[in-house]
Every structure is written in structure tokens, then in C-alpha cells.
A = this chain, B = another copy of it.
């Protein structure tokens, strides 16, 4: 099967023009198929502040009211997405920016929770595999903004990590999919205070052991649990590490590679 890289970058890259340009330059050197999913960054929050739209956080999650949805749609699907595409075009990569509503890429439903109303936040129901396959066959690089829709005209704000995972799982029947999560750290660390202590590979067996020994704990557990969900869904490997080292992450010479 042909390889497909699904690569997610977050706010730390999107917010920093130099890091973003360096990342996109590395991304432009990838041969073969790749999909980029980007998160939001601070621009939406600062625009909301300027516009006087109060941001409510509940348990670390942003509540997306109508005005906030308008702002994230403008910032994620408009400003960030189109500037990434303009840079990729300048690097001679024929890229196309999409939000989940385009080509019915990502259908979702408004999150229902008896205790907390998250507002216009969407949980993904389906990925349009045929559409992605068509576009990849057209030799286009896809860049996805974290906005989905409910099929009834409502746009929804959706977590970029989850989007990357859903796309990776959906495409795993057609491609050998590798899911790359770019984040702030070098990878999963044996010693959280030491960026040099990257655990280069983790599988089911070593994961149990690392948890038992309390090497992996707290915030890292849901991340790795998610990685195993992707692997169980058919993804070949999940690589976690510093987005700035994209090529090394893909080569297996940086970051943590998680396999079954």
C-alpha cells in the first residue's frame, strides 16, 4: 500500500511565523501523500478579546458560543488556513485548504452533555474517505482547518487532534497511514524534566510496563491511549514529537513512535 502521512500541528507552530515557515518548508519536501491538520492558536482568543467576546473555559475547554464560532471560523478556516496555503504554493506545493464542511469532509454532531453546554462544539461522526482519496489522486496536498458541520447548515468547532486521528483511521483501509502529532516536547520522556530522555518507541507491552513504573503518567496517558485507538483503527504508526523536527519524526530519528 502507498504511504500517507497525516500530520497535526498545534498553536505553538501556528502562532510563530518563523516556526511555521520552517515547518512548511520541511513539509514541502515530503514525497508522496500527506495531509496537514492545523489547530487554532492564540489569534482567535486575541481577536475575541479585541471584539469584547468573553471566552468561557470549563475544565480547560473553550465554550463555543455563536460569536466565538464566528471568530474561530474566520480565524481557522480563513486567516490561518489560507496563509498556510499561500506559503505552500510559494514553496511549489499544490495545496488546497479545507474545512470539514468542504466536500462534506467531516460530519459531526453538536456535543451533548447533561452537565456542561459546550456550545457549538462538534464530535465527528464520519469522514468522507472517497472525497479525500479523489483529492489525493489529483496530487493535491490537503490542509484541514478544525471546523466541521452537522449536515443541517451548522458549523461546529472541533478538536484538531481528533480530526487528525479520524482522518488517519478512515484512510487506513486505502493507505499505509502514519499519524504524526507535532507538539512542544521532543516526545514521550522517560524523565519529564529532561528533553534528552525521549523514549524512542512504545508498544502495547512496553506501555503497560511504563505505566506500572509510573514513567508515563497524567497528561501523557490520554495522548498515548488515543494513539492506541488510532493503531487499533488500522493506523500503522503514531509518532509524537517536536513539530520542528518533522522529517526526523517521519524517519524515526526523533520523537516517540508508537506501534501495536
Contact of A102 among B51, B75, B96, B147 (CB under 8 A): B96
Q: How far is the CB of A65 from chain B (nearest CB, A)?
A: 15
A58 contacts the other chain (Cβ, under 8 Å)?
A: no
A interface secondary structure, majority: helix
Q: Count this chain's copies in the assembly.
A: 2
A98 contacts the other chain (Cβ, under 8 Å)?
A: yes
Q: How large is the interface on A (under 10, 10 to 19, 20 to 34, 35 or more residues)?
A: 35 or more
Q: How far is the CA of A238 from the CA of B152 in the complex (A)?
A: 33
**Chain A residues with a Cβ under 8 A of chain B:** 50-51, 70, 73-79, 81-83, 85-87, 89-90, 94-99, 101-104, 131, 134, 138, 140, 147, 149, 151-155
Q: How far is the CA of A99 from the CA of B85 in the complex (A)?
A: 10
Q: How far is the CA of A20 from the CA of B78 in the complex (A)?
A: 20
Q: How far is the CB of A121 from chain B (nearest CB, A)?
A: 16
* Closest residue of B by beta carbon distance from A128: B94
Q: How far is the CB of A21 from chain B (nearest CB, A)?
A: 9
Residues of B contacting A151 with CB < 8 Å? 89-90
Q: How far is the CB of A46 from chain B (nearest CB, A)?
A: 11
Contact of A79 among B78, B83, B98, B152 (CB under 8 A): B78
Q: How far is the CB of A124 from chain B (nearest CB, A)?
A: 15
